[in-house]
Amino acid sequence: MSSQKQTVIITGGNSGLGYECAKQIAKYDNNYYVILACRNAAKAKQAVNSLIQETKNNNITSMELDLSSLESVRNFIGNLSKMDYPPLYALVCNAGVQFIDDTHYTKDGFEITFGVNHLGHFLLANMLLEQITPGGRIVIVSSGTHDPLKKTGMPEPVFVNPQQLAFPDPTGTNEVISLIGRRRYTTSKLCNLYFTYELARRIKQQTDKRITVNAFDPGMMPGTGLAQSYTPVMKFVWNYVLPVLTLFYPNVNTVRQSGSALANLVTDSKLDQTTAKYFEGKKQINSSELSYNNENWSSLWKASVEMSKLTQAETILKV
């Protein structure tokens, strides 16, 4: 446990995996000051109240952050700098979306799955690097669905170039929109791995802050809000049928199981030197062969700098 107060930011912490992660961290040590960075301010405040009651830790608050808006990310950074919170120790990039009903776009014109799951977190993490204390941690929630060899029931990711992900051609395929939406999700989770490995590499080469960066696969968690755009029948299966699988199948987990494992990547002192790794729950494993393509790491990084308009004044890394 820490002898000094330190801050942990969790994106999308008002429900599901993020909420359970916040609860486990707050219960683990009262010296952790947990910030829920959420799009819906009202739901975030309700979550804060519930977490304080459940954990008996009063050091929990929320701040508004809409990852589908680059302006909102920058406003979040500006507002954070005005607050008198303890030193920033960890960032958990947890928030994510999946849409299978149509193509949706962010406020900046990017396809929303790519925009929220990757680009918003890319800008957020870069802009927070200067504030993260030496020896701090960044954890990026990916998914086993990024790996074509895993039998997840999801379409395998397709990464051609970042521009195609950000600005898809709606007339360029005959696939049904539900399949397209799920592939966008799995590809965004592959991008999470590319970002993890490239960010870890750049931090190690360009700074002496010893900030670790690791990726996390929570497994399938039926019953969470990821199925918000599903059809009524698919939602019923997701919410009531698939949860039974947590009793029988590996890496099909309850939110509590996955939230505890995610929190462990923030709190476990044994991981102080562990960086650029991928965890399935609490177990370190290899990610997919696709994820180790360092040319894709670099191309995604370069494109993300351009799309987010990240400037040298906003990050301690070379842009």
Neighbours of 249 (CB within 10 A): 12
Q: What is the mean pLDDT of residues 240-255?
A: 53
Query: Which amino acid, 69?
Result: S
Q: What is the pTM of this model?
A: 0.91
Whether 67 shows a pLDDT value over 60: the answer reads yes
Q: State what percent of residues in the chain have pLDDT above 90.
A: 83
Encoded tokens for 39: 């799009």
pLDDT band at 241 (very low <50, low <70, confident <90, very high): very low
Whether 63 shows a pLDDT value over 80: the answer reads yes
Domains of the chain, by residue range, sit at 6-314
* Tokens 């000051």 -> residue: 33
DSSP for residue 60: E
Per the model's pLDDT, the better-predicted residue between 236 and 180 turns out to be 180
- Spatial contact of 9 and 91, defined as CB atoms under 8 Å apart: yes
Q: What is the mean pLDDT of residues 240-250?
A: 45
**CA-based nearest residue to 133, from 82, 91, 89, 92:** 89
d(CA 217, CA 219): 5
DSSP for residue 111: B
Neighbours of 267 (CB within 10 A): 18
**Each residue's pLDDT tens digit, 143-182:** 999 999 998 889 999 999 999 999 998 776 668 888 999 9
**Each residue's pLDDT tens digit, 79-90:** 999 999 999 999
Angstrom CA distances, 40 to 25, 26, 44, 47, 235, stand at 22, 21, 6, 11, 22
pLDDT for the residue numbered 232: 55
**CB neighbour list of residue 111: distance below 8 Å, 6 or more residues apart:** 103, 104, 105, 165, 166, 167, 168, 184
N-terminal to C-terminal alpha carbon distance within the chain: 35
Mean pLDDT across the chain: 91
Per the model's pLDDT, the better-predicted residue between 78 and 237 turns out to be 78
* Tokens 């999700």 -> residue: 185
- Spatial contact of 42 and 125, defined as CB atoms under 8 Å apart: no
Encoded tokens for 94: 């947890």
- Spatial contact of 161 and 191, defined as CB atoms under 8 Å apart: no
- Spatial contact of 246 and 38, defined as CB atoms under 8 Å apart: no
pLDDT for the residue numbered 254: 84
Query: In the annotation, is 105 catalytic?
Result: no
d(CA 139, CA 136): 10
**Each residue's pLDDT tens digit, 183-235:** 999 999 999 999 999 999 999 999 999 999 999 999 976 555 554 544 554 44
Whether 54 shows a pLDDT value over 80: the answer reads yes
- Spatial contact of 119 and 110, defined as CB atoms under 8 Å apart: yes
At the top level of CATH, the class of 6-314 is alpha beta
Whether 72 shows a pLDDT value over 70: the answer reads yes
d(CA 17, CA 141): 10
pLDDT for the residue numbered 314: 98
Out of 19, 28, 33, 185, the active site residue is: 185
Per the model's pLDDT, the better-predicted residue between 246 and 132 turns out to be 132
- Spatial contact of 33 and 9, defined as CB atoms under 8 Å apart: no
Whether 250 shows a pLDDT value over 90: the answer reads no
pLDDT for the residue numbered 236: 42
d(CA 10, CA 141): 11
Whether 119 shows a pLDDT value over 50: the answer reads yes
